[in-house]
């Protein structure tokens, strides 16, 4: 089967370090000022017809609408038929903010006070469905809920729709807003969170991840159609893969075996060899087990040690949105010809295999094929390979 090339023509980001891709990029290059990785000063009414409509969307959907609006504005006028336009939006948890608020509301005020909008607001597919309705995109509109791999899986799956000639354009990414008291308590009690809320990927002193929220959406298009309409092509989705550890609900497989398999399959999908990869935006959550397994997996797959960074040092870990945010970071790194440093990383854990982690300052580079890794609870692995527009 002849697969079609997939272009990235738009990027939209809502992150703790900046709302909008320009502010986000600036944030990736700046010191971390706020250890609580919430999206501050976000006004959802800017992305809806009125405040009432905004209130009827959970925060994770609001983020998705904001990121999609920015991505589509950059992409420009897309000429594909409505039935050839798809939406693939991932999330790890969905409308948890609404769920927790309404459980408290019911407990305090009774059944009749529960919002009739609870169900459509809490659904994990609410953002994907909402975007298809907002823009009249009548092709497939789906979401994946694969924990912290959801954003990466959504971009990979959306790209496959285009490659396989099901769609000509796709809105793909992830969104998450799970900053609730119960979620934080659950992560804290399982000792996944950093007790001092510091993200220190691959560092010898790392002690857990820093919770975050946010969203990122990419506009994907069939390459020749994007060229024909005069779109500015930002990058190419070259390949993707998805595997399962089949090992443990939270811990990675020993030696990073699932991650190794996923990265190798993504290389095959892209038609590349390991030595072709220049840069890896690692999953790099700052948890002891995950970082160690990923470092070992990278070392096994890449003898030449590509440039590694984890932008979670700045953004924190936005769960199902993380992979999409990191894919956006790769596209911007290509545009600016700079790889952001891994904030919070001072000294590589001596018990890990050696990897080339960018620290201190951004590193200039000649953009080349780049890999983004995402590994989620449940043993879900996702890898995406992006190439520069001129490759």
Q: How far apart are CA 219 and CA 10, in angstroms?
A: 5
Residue from 344, 333, 86, 95 nearest 208 by CA: 344
Residue from 336, 267, 343, 350 nearest 37 by CA: 343
DSSP 44: G
One of 153, 279, 317, 380 is an active-site residue; which one? 317
Per the annotation, the verdict on 148 as an active-site residue is yes
What CA–CA distances, in Å, run from 71 to 102, 149, 307?
A: 32, 21, 27
Please spell the DSSP secondary structure of 197-214, one letter per residue. ----TTBTT---BPBB-E
Q: How far apart are CA 207 and CA 184, in angstroms?
A: 16
Q: How far apart are CA 5 and CA 194, in angstroms?
A: 41
Q: Which residues contact 238 (CB under 8 A, 6 or more apart)?
A: 269, 270, 271, 272, 369, 385, 386, 387, 391
What CA–CA distances, in Å, run from 189 to 21, 28, 185, 198, 208?
A: 34, 29, 6, 17, 12
Q: How many CB atoms lie within 10 A of CB 220?
A: 32
Q: How far apart are the first and last CA of the chain?
A: 22
Q: How many CB atoms lie within 10 A of CB 373?
A: 26
One of 153, 283, 345, 380 is an active-site residue; which one? 283
Would you say how long the chain is, in residues?
Answer: 391
Q: How many CB atoms lie within 10 A of CB 361?
A: 10
Per the annotation, the verdict on 107 as an active-site residue is no
Per the annotation, the verdict on 336 as an active-site residue is no
Query: What tokens does 307 get?
Result: 């440039």
One of 148, 153, 167, 279 is an active-site residue; which one? 148
Q: How far apart are CA 93 and CA 322, in angstroms?
A: 13
Residues assigned a catalytic role: 148, 283, 317
């Amino acid at each position: 089967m002849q697969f079609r090339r997939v272009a990235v023509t738009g990027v939209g980001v809502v992150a703790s370090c900046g709302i909008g891709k320009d502010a986000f990029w600036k944030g990736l290059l700046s010191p971390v000022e706020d250890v609580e990785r919430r999206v501050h000063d976000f006004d959802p009414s800017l992305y809806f017809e009125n405040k009432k409509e905004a209130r009827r969307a959970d925060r994770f959907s609001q983020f998705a609408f904001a990121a999609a609006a920015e991505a589509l504005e950059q992409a420009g006028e897309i000429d594909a038929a409505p039935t050839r336009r798809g939406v693939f939006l991932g999330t790890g948890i969905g409308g948890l903010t609404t769920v927790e608020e309404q459980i408290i509301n019911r407990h305090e005020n009774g059944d009749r006070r529960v919002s009739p909008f609870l169900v459509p607001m809490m659904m994990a597919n609410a953002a994907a469905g909402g975007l298809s309705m907002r823009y009249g995109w009548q092709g497939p509109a789906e979401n994946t809920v694969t924990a912290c791999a959801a954003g990466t899986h959504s971009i990979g799956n959306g790209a496959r729709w285009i490659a396989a000639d099901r769609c000509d354009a796709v809105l793909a990414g992830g969104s998450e807003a799970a900053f609730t008291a119960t979620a934080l308590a659950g992560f804290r009690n399982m000792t996944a969170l950093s007790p001092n809320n510091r993200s220190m990927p691959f560092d010898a002193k790392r002690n857990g991840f820093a919770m975050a929220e946010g969203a990122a959406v990419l506009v994907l298009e069939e390459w020749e159609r994007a060229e024909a309409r005069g779109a500015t092509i930002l990058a190419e989705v070259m390949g993707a893969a998805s595997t399962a550890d089949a090992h443990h609900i939270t811990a990675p497989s020993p030696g990073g075996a699932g991650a190794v398999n996923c990265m190798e399959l993504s290389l095959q999908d892209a038609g590349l060899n390991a030595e072709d990869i220049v840069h890896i935006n690692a999953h790099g959550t700052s948890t002891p087990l995950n970082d160690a397994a990923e470092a070992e997996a990278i070392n096994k797959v890449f003898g030449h040690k590509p440039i590694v960074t984890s932008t979670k040092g700045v953004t924190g870990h936005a769960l199902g949105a993380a992979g999409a945010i990191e894919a956006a970071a790769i596209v911007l790194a290509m545009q600016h010809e700079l790889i952001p440093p891994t904030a919070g990383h001072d000294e590589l854990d001596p018990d890990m295999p050696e990897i080339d982690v960018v620290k201190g300052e951004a590193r200039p580079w000649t953009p080349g094929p780049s890999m983004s890794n995402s590994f989620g609870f449940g043993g879900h692995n996702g890898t995406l390979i992006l190439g520069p527009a001129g490759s």
